[in-house]
Homo-oligomer: A and B are copies of this chain.
């Protein structure tokens, strides 16, 4: 069996709970609830014949689009089959001796390192401190480390390190010649905090970006890495050809051009995030952590446990993310909920209130 478990596994949920796919509201994957821009549909339908040709292995047009939109140099960009391919590619290219991962966090960093037999040290953030990340604690654990993976905003806890604070760490890893990967998969709501433009100043800094969460295209697979151009060349040497399919390369232009969709999405997510946070905070039996991205991290208090809650909700067609398999979290006590549309959020709140008030 596959040894990973993430949110958004609809097929598994359909199989397990026997609910028809059209009745599912998926709070378990952190995806823009508006779906993707209508321009994408048009472009894909119009250009379907391109599937009869190999994708451009160098993704030239797509890289130019990213270069223009984010105002970073073309030579600093490489595309991947989702940012996940790039996590593995970075590990395979750097062949690090020992890596550091602040936890709890996205599990694929650990899996990529383990699969490549890289020893890992963990920097555990404490529940008592609301799982906040301490730059000083990370710095104190850097001895013998040559690669650090950091997720910001962090999945699943939602903690966020502001740009100015992170730059202290970036300077320190640069001085010590340690590679630092910052996964900015969930930074879209606060683009101004991104360190994407700092790669020209720090050649040990590597930024991961996803184009499928905010733009709601996880089924298409699309992510990119921004780093020093010499390091990008090393990644290119190691990368399998054609991993980014031709439709993924094709739609990038549309993603960035549909400003109305971007504006509407940001407004909706910001508003509903606040709404969900306020309403969840009123429900007894839940501890709600302050969110910084499009999802909310929660602890179940008292004698409530995740599996029962998840099964109950799933039978009503509502999927949420059990955080039991995140390293550094007490099993059965933490869940993660994506921010969705108002009506869907209301439905979730209603069901949560019912089950939590009953107990």
- Whether, in the assembled complex, A25 has its beta carbon less than 8 Å from a beta carbon of chain B, the answer is no
A6 to B219, CA, bound (A): 27
Contact B52 A31, beta carbon cutoff 8 Å = yes
Q: Which residues of B contact A237 (CB under 8 A)?
A: 2-3, 115
- Whether, in the assembled complex, A1 has its beta carbon less than 8 Å from a beta carbon of chain B, the answer is yes
Q: Which residues of B contact A6 (CB under 8 A)?
A: 54, 57, 241
Partner of A2, one of B2, B41, B236: B236
Q: Which residues of B contact A10 (CB under 8 A)?
A: 53-54, 56
Convert A197-239 into 0s and 1s, putting 1 for each residue whose CB lies closer than 8 angstroms to a CB of B: 0000000000000000000111111000000000001001111
* Total residues of chain A contacting the partner, CB 8 A: 60
- Nearest residue (CB) in B for A243 is B81
A71 to B239, CA, bound (A): 33
A45 to B47, CA, bound (A): 11
- Whether, in the assembled complex, A123 has its beta carbon less than 8 Å from a beta carbon of chain B, the answer is no
Contact B217 A52, beta carbon cutoff 8 Å = yes
* Copies of this protein chain in the complex: 2
- Whether, in the assembled complex, A103 has its beta carbon less than 8 Å from a beta carbon of chain B, the answer is no
A240 to B85, CA, bound (A): 7
- Whether, in the assembled complex, A125 has its beta carbon less than 8 Å from a beta carbon of chain B, the answer is no
What's the nearest-Cβ distance from chain B to residue A79, in Å? 12
- Nearest residue (CB) in B for A47 is B219
Q: Determine which residue in A6, A10, A11, A41 has the highest number of CB atoms from chain B within 10 A of its CB, and name it.
A: A11
A245 to B249, CA, bound (A): 13
Contact A219 B52, beta carbon cutoff 8 Å = yes
Q: Which residues of B contact A247 (CB under 8 A)?
A: 219-220, 247
- Whether, in the assembled complex, A55 has its beta carbon less than 8 Å from a beta carbon of chain B, the answer is yes
- Nearest residue (CB) in B for A8 is B54
Q: Which residues of B contact A60 (CB under 8 A)?
A: 11
- Whether, in the assembled complex, A70 has its beta carbon less than 8 Å from a beta carbon of chain B, the answer is no
A26 to B49, CA, bound (A): 14
Residues of chain A from 169 to 201 with CB closer than 8 A to chain B in the complex: none
Contact B1 A52, beta carbon cutoff 8 Å = no
**20 intermolecular pairs with C-beta atoms under 8 Å apart:** A2-B58, A3-B237, A8-B53, A8-B54, A9-B56, A10-B54, A11-B58, A11-B60, A26-B53, A35-B52, A50-B219, A51-B218, A52-B217, A53-B219, A55-B219, A84-B242, A85-B243, A220-B245, A243-B243, A245-B248
Extra A-B contacts (17), CB below 8 Å, given A2-B241, A44-B44, A54-B218:
A9-B54, A11-B58, A26-B53, A29-B54, A35-B52, A36-B52, A45-B45, A51-B218, A52-B216, A55-B219, A81-B240, A81-B242, A84-B241, A92-B92, A219-B247, A220-B247, A245-B245
